[in-house]
């Protein structure tokens, strides 16, 4: 049977991942089984978040004809890396749906699906409509303006949104959505849940890195920003609604 007509792979993204030679970790399995269209992945370095997103992306492009999928990251190099994984998987499968255009930054399939890689600049993303999946890699480092510019693209299409990142301070949209956003399915994956990261390696990292860096990179922790003089808690404690501002209205 042709891969693209294989109903099992179309319906089961875990089977699809296995076809690509990947045995998903428990959290990855949950993600692949999920039908949620609002997903936040707060995962440690090297846990496989880009790999999983690449699988979700390719699966959608192959089995949902006419999909427009946008891959964004703060820098083009990062979105390109994600796209590189998508392209690698597509080639590994033997291009089950023929390409119409296979370029460095985009893949267009004969079933009408398109995967487009974009740098994290608000200007480049305006003009895309009908997006069925929007992926924000390294989302903790994405500018708020970019996030505000991309959300309306999902309004008419009803598209899905995935944001994946290792934390980067108590600020920005990824932090805000993770701590207070509504409607998200959340995955938190510290390094001790990643079978490919050994305890010995983590011991070494713990000894070498400043403790806040270790917590950020390997324990999914939103740490105070490096250059922040006052902690977020201090700032919040200092705010009061009981004092009338000297200028302007309350």
**Binding-site partner at residue 221 among ligand ATP, Mg ion, none, CB < 5 to 8 Å by type:** none
Nearer to ligand ATP, 47 or 132 (CB): 47
Which of 8, 11, 15, 45 lies at the binding interface for ligand ATP (CB under 6 A)?
Answer: 45
* C-alpha 168, offset from chain centre: 14
Which of 22, 76, 93, 149 lies at the binding interface for ligand ATP (CB under 6 A)?
Answer: 22
Taking the C-alpha atoms of residue 72 and residue 125, their distance in angstroms, rounded to an integer, is 9
Nearer to ligand ATP, 43 or 133 (CB): 43
Taking the C-alpha atoms of residue 206 and residue 200, their distance in angstroms, rounded to an integer, is 10
- CA-CA distances (angstroms) from residue 139 to 3, 10, 45, 97? 33, 28, 13, 30
Select the residue whose beta carbon is closest to Mg ion and give its number.
50
**Binding-site partner at residue 169 among Mg ion, ligand ATP, none, CB < 5 to 8 Å by type:** none
Q: How far apart are the first and last CA of the chain?
A: 67
Q: Scanning residues 146 to 185, which ones bind ligand ATP (CB under 6 A)?
A: 166
- One symbol per residue from 24 to 63: x for binding Mg ion (CB under 5 A), - otherwise; what is it? --------------------------x-------------
Q: Yes or no: say if 115 and 37 are a contact pair by the CB < 8 Å rule.
A: no
Q: How many residues bind Mg ion (CB under 5 A)?
A: 1
Instruction: Give the list of residues 6+ apart from residue 209 with CB closer than 8 angstroms, or none.
Output: 217
119 in contact with ligand ATP (CB under 6 A):
no
Region binding ligand ATP by CB under 6 A among candidate stretches 17-25, 57-65, 119-127, 150-158: 17-25
* Among candidate residues 143, 109, 150, 107, the one with its CA nearest the CA of residue 127: 150
Taking the C-alpha atoms of residue 69 and residue 197, their distance in angstroms, rounded to an integer, is 31
User: b vs e for 124-138, b when ≥16 Cβ sit within 10 Å of the residue's Cβ?
Assistant: bbeebeebbbbbbbb
Which of 48, 119, 167, 172 lies at the binding interface for ligand ATP (CB under 6 A)?
Answer: 48
Binding site for Mg ion (CB under 5 A): 50
Binding site for ligand ATP (CB under 6 A): 22-25, 28, 43, 45-51, 166, 196
């Amino acid at each position: 049977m042709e891969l693209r007509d294989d109903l099992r792979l179309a319906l089961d993204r875990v089977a699809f991942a296995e076809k690509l030679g990947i045995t998903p970790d428990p959290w990855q399995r949950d993600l692949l089984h999920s039908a949620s269209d609002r997903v936040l992945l707060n995962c440690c370095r090297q846990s496989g978040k880009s790999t999983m997103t690449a699988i979700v992306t390719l699966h959608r492009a192959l089995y949902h004809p006419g999909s427009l999928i946008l891959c964004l990251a703060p820098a083009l190099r990062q979105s390109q890396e994600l796209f590189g994984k998508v392209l690698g998987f597509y080639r590994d499968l033997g291009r089950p749906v023929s390409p119409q255009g296979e370029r460095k930054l985009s893949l267009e399939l004969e079933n009408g699906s398109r995967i487009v890689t974009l740098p994290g600049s608000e200007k480049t993303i305006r003009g895309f409509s009908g997006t069925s999946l929007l992926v924000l890699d390294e989302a903790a480092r994405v500018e708020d303006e970019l996030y505000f510019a991309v959300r309306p693209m999902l309004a008419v299409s009803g598209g899905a949104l995935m944001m994946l990142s290792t934390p980067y301070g108590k600020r920005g949209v990824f932090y805000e959505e993770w701590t207070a956003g509504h409607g998200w399915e959340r995955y938190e994956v510290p390094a001790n849940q990643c079978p490919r990261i050994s305890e010995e390696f983590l011991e070494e990292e713990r000894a070498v890195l400043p403790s806040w860096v270790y917590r950020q990179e390997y324990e999914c922790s939103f740490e105070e920003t490096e250059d922040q003089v006052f902690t977020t808690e201090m700032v919040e404690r200092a705010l009061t609604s009981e004092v009338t501002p000297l200028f302007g209205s309350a």
